[in-house]
Amino acid sequence: MPNSRQRHKHHGAQQHTHSTTPKPKKRNAATLMAIFVGVFGAAISALFSHSDFMWIAIGAIAGAVTGYLVGRGLDNTVAKK
């Protein structure tokens, strides 16, 4: 009888190695830029609109959208390298 038939079979025994070191958190430039430019847009609109709440909100939203788009472009540029 061949030796291959006499060997013990391994039935789905998989070895899992768990790393004890945590994975480093990926920094997201889109989120950081959206927050930073949103606050900057609110500050600029507060200065030029004499503290009118509607214009401060519009400036914050416009700044956040602009910051998100710029940050997403930065993330894509870094990911390509």
10 Å Cβ neighbour count for 31? 14
39 CA to centre of own chain: 19
Asked whether residue 58 is assigned to any structural domain, the reply reads yes
Asked whether residue 8 is assigned to any structural domain, the reply reads no
Encode pLDDT of 3-30 as tens digits.
666 666 666 656 656 667 776 666 688 8
Domain count, the chain: 1
What domain range includes position 81? Answer: 26-81
- Residue 32 and residue 58 in contact, taking contact as beta carbons nearer than 8 Å: no
Q: Above 70 in pLDDT, residue 53?
A: yes
Listed in sequence order, the residues at least 6 apart from 72 whose beta carbon sits closer than 8 Å to its beta carbon are: 29, 30
* pTM across the whole model: 0.64
Asked whether residue 5 is assigned to any structural domain, the reply reads no
